[in-house]
Amino acid sequence: MNKNPKIPEIQQSAFIQAREQLGFSIADLAAKACLSARQIEQIENGHTSSYYGAQNKFTAAKKVAAILKISDQDAFEGVEADQLESAVQSVQSEPTSSTQLAKKEKQAHRIEKEITNKVESVKSSKRLILSLSICAGLVFAGINFYKNAFSEKTEEVQLASQDQAEPVANPTPEVNVPQAAESASEACPSADAAVSIYKSESPLKPGDMVFVQSKTAQVVCVVDATGKTQSKALEQGARASFYGKPPFKVLTSGFNQIELYFQGVKVRPDNVGGKTVLLEAAELVHAQPSNSTDSQFR
C-alpha cells in the first residue's frame, strides 16, 4: 500500500509579503481566489477552522500562490521539489474536498431554508391567533351591545303582556273594596282643587286603559268610573298600565314628571303645571284592534 506524502507547510510570510507588494487587500484577494476573507486570513496566520482539513487548505493556498505569482518553493516548505509535486498531485487527485465543500454548503443552505420556513410558520400562527382573538372580542362586544340595546324593549313587552293578562272584573265578595280604596288613596298624591278635564279629538284606541311612563320616582294613582283605585309606585323611567271603566281620574306628582297616554294618544292637559286630570273617553270613528301592547298606546 502506498503511503500518502506529507502535506507541505505553508510559508505564511511569503503570502503576506506578496499580497502587500501587489497592493491587494484580503478582501480583494478573496474575491480573486473565490474564497472567503476568513480563509485568506487563515492561510496567512496558520489557522484551519475555515477548512475541512489540511488537504483542503493546501489546495486553497496553491490557488492563492498562483494568483500572487509565488513559486512553490517560496510558498511551501518542509519537502523537496519532487515531493511537493507528488503532494500536489495527491491533493488534486482527492475528489472529496471540493465535493464535500459543495455538499456542506448545500446542506447549510437547506438547513437555513428550513429554519426560515419554521420562523415564518410561527409568525403566521401568531398572526392567526391575534386575528381570531380580535374577531372573538368583536363578537362578544356585539352580543353585549345587543343585550343592552334591546333589554329595555323586552321588559316593556313583558310588562304589557302581564298587564293584559290580568282580568278586568268586578271585585269578589272576599275583597274589602272600601278598605283597599282607602289604603290606596292614602298613598296617592293629593288632588288639585280644580281638576283639568281632557278628551281626545282623534282617539285611536278604546278608552279602557291608561298608560303612564314616569320621568321620576313617584306614586301614580288612577280611579275609574266604578270607584276602583289603582296605585303604583314607579321608579324613574318605569312604565305602568291601568285598566278600568272610563272616565279615569289620574293623580300624579305633576304632569311635567310623566308621559301620559289615553286611547292611543298622548295626553296634554291644559294645566301643564297641575297634578290631576280627568280623562273622558271619546267615541272611536273606526274600530281598532283591542289586543295591542302598551307600546302601541304612545
CA dihedral 85→87→89→92, nearest 10 degrees, is: -140
Judged against a pLDDT cut of 90, whether residue 68 lies above it is answered with yes
**What pLDDT digit, counting tens, does each position of 30-46 carry?**
999 999 999 999 999 98
Residue 272 has pLDDT above 70, yes or no: yes
Residue 108 inside a domain? The answer is: no
Residues 46 and 118 in one domain: no
**pLDDT (tens digit per residue) in 161-171:** 555 544 444 44
Q: Say whether both 184 and 163 belong to one domain.
A: no
Look at residue 247 in the predicted model and tell me its pLDDT. Answer: 95
**Residues 51, 57: contact at Cβ < 8 Å?**
yes
pLDDT of residue 298: 52
Say whether both 85 and 192 belong to one domain: no
Higher pLDDT, 231 or 136: 231
Q: Does residue 172 belong to any structural domain of this protein?
A: no
How, if at all, do strands 258-262 and 9-10 pair? unpaired
Give the three-state DSSP class for 191: coil
Let me know whether 202 and 284 are in one domain. yes
58: CATH? 1.10.260.40
| Digit-coded pLDDT (tens) for 213-250 | 999 999 999 999 999 999 999 999 999 999 999 999 98
My answer on whether 24 and 119 are in the same domain is no
Total domains, the chain: 3
E strand intervals along the chain? 9-10, 76-77, 196-199, 209-214, 218-223, 229-234, 239-243, 248-251, 258-262, 265-266, 276-280
For residue 159, tell me if it sits in a domain: yes
In this structure, of 18-32, 139-153, 156-170, the range with the lowest mean pLDDT score is: 156-170
Task: Choose the final residue of a domain: 167, 190, 209.
Answer: 167
Residues 38 and 131 in one domain: no
How far is the C-alpha of 264 from the C-alpha of 197, rounded, in Å?
17
In the 8-state DSSP scheme, what is residue 189? P
Given a cut of 70, whether residue 76 has pLDDT beyond it is yes
CB contact at 8 A, 206 and 284: yes
Structural domain boundaries enclosing 13: 9-94
pLDDT at 139: 78
Distance CA 232, CA 235 (A): 10
Report the alpha-carbon distance of residue 83 to residue 78 in Å, rounded.
Answer: 9
Instruction: Please give the average per-residue pLDDT across 88-114, as a whole number.
Output: 63
